[in-house]
Amino acid sequence: MTVSLNERPEALWDPSVPLTELRALGICVGYPSALVPAAWLKPANHWGDGPPPQVPEPPPDGHYWLTFPSTGEVAGLWLAEGLVRQLRLVREGMARFGSLTEETLRGALGPPDDVSRSIGHLTLRWTGRGLAVTWDGRTGALVCVDLDADPQPPRLYRARDLLEEVFDFLSWAPKPADWSEAALKARPPARVRFLRVRALSRAFGVWSEATPDPGLPPNRQPPHPISALQFGDFLKGREGCPPLDEAIATYIEAREPRGRHTPFGPRIGFMYLFGFVQKARALRRHNSGVLEAGAVELRWAMHEVAQAVAPLEEPVEALAALLARAIDPAERGFTLVELEQRFGYPADDLHEIDMDWM
């Protein structure tokens, strides 16, 4: 027994109707590929004005655009292991759901398992339902609905992401005088990056908001979310740092058996590696700032730069991974929903903000 989304669009958010019973364009997720007429399909990777290659019967696994003959409606289709694994409803297909809102879905299905905001779009995912819905972030108009038999689990943000965020922020605001929300009020791209660093620092126990103690000198005040990482201040309040302690002990045993530890402990090593990885990251991304390379001489120069920095990729990534383990030896992960609800991660589309700023 299947339910037509044309006749009962509300079945999309009715948890009593299984995903595999939701029918659109005569198809359900989980249908055998052989039941999908090959004549309705065009390979999704076909571009240009020429006729697409003919799809054989039964359609082989792959991504397709499906055109429903009676209405002309177009949908995306993913076939794998002889089954329909994903159906993406787009364009005219959104009309069947009317003015479907985020509030309607949250009320019926509960909070989403994952949220993403990128390139002007807001996407909510309910992985247990196999459902993802995307709206235009500015107009609120529906963009697409995905029915997926194999939904991807929510992305987990880890300490490596915190490092990347702080490096990114420092490329926008290298001066300590700018390391506050108030100082960055007139610079939205840098402000949102600062708020991301602050939220991730909270999540991984690198920093917490503490009231300044007027009885302490400035150098003994609670650490700032940026300095906590840049200068390794977060290590001051920890009983050792196993990842760094082990690496240092291995070095001492192999190269300096009489080497003496300093009162700074592993913090000075963290600070030095942080500075190096930050600079190496800038070198590796040197070509990314070029928006157009029309001159052959420039393309040659970019090629030479790419060849020069390529050997850095593996060793620098290994050092970044070591820094990440030092930040969070437990190697935890947080979903975006958790970060927003528990740690104040900003609910902003940074790509859109960057584009507006440009």
pLDDT for 13-24, tens place per residue?
999 999 999 999
The token duo for 152 is 């991807």
Q: Residue 210 above 80 pLDDT?
A: no
Sheet with 3-4, strands from edge to edge, namely 3-4, 22-24, 27-28
Question: What pLDDT is stored for residue 330 in this prediction?
Answer: 96
Question: What pLDDT is stored for residue 315 in this prediction?
Answer: 97
Domain edges within the chain? 3-148, 159-357
Prediction pTM value: 0.84
pLDDT band at 189 (very low <50, low <70, confident <90, very high): very high
pLDDT band at 358 (very low <50, low <70, confident <90, very high): confident
Question: What pLDDT is stored for residue 222 in this prediction?
Answer: 60
pLDDT for 323-349, tens place per residue?
999 999 999 999 999 999 999 999 999
Q: Residue 213 above 60 pLDDT?
A: no
Q: How far apart are CA 281 and CA 241, in angstroms?
A: 24
Cα distances from 294 to residues 54, 288, 302, 310, 358, in angstroms, run 37, 15, 12, 23, 21
Q: Residue 37 above 90 pLDDT?
A: yes
Half-sphere exposure of 356 (CA within 13 A, CB side): 13
Task: Decide if 26 contacts 5 (C-beta within 8 A).
Answer: no
The token duo for 254 is 């192999």
Question: What pLDDT is stored for residue 45 in this prediction?
Answer: 81
| Average pLDDT rounded to a whole number, residues 213-232 | 72
Question: What pLDDT is stored for residue 211 in this prediction?
Answer: 57
* Residue of 293 and 297 predicted with greater confidence: 297
| Average pLDDT rounded to a whole number, residues 190-216 | 85
The average confidence (pLDDT) of the chain is: 90
pLDDT band at 171 (very low <50, low <70, confident <90, very high): very high
pLDDT for 103-119, tens place per residue?
999 999 999 999 999 88
| Average pLDDT rounded to a whole number, residues 80-96 | 93
Q: Residue 293 above 70 pLDDT?
A: no
pLDDT for 252-280, tens place per residue?
889 888 777 776 789 999 999 999 999 99
Angle formed by the axes of helices 159-172 and 266-284, to 10°? Answer: 70
Task: Decide if 118 contacts 138 (C-beta within 8 A).
Answer: no
Question: What pLDDT is stored for residue 131 in this prediction?
Answer: 97
The percent of residues above 90 in pLDDT, for the chain, comes to: 69
Question: What pLDDT is stored for residue 294 in this prediction?
Answer: 76
| Average pLDDT rounded to a whole number, residues 73-85 | 95
Q: Give the angle 305-309-327 at the CA atoms, nearest 5°.
A: 140
Best CA proximity match to 22, nearest among 99, 106, 97, 124: 97
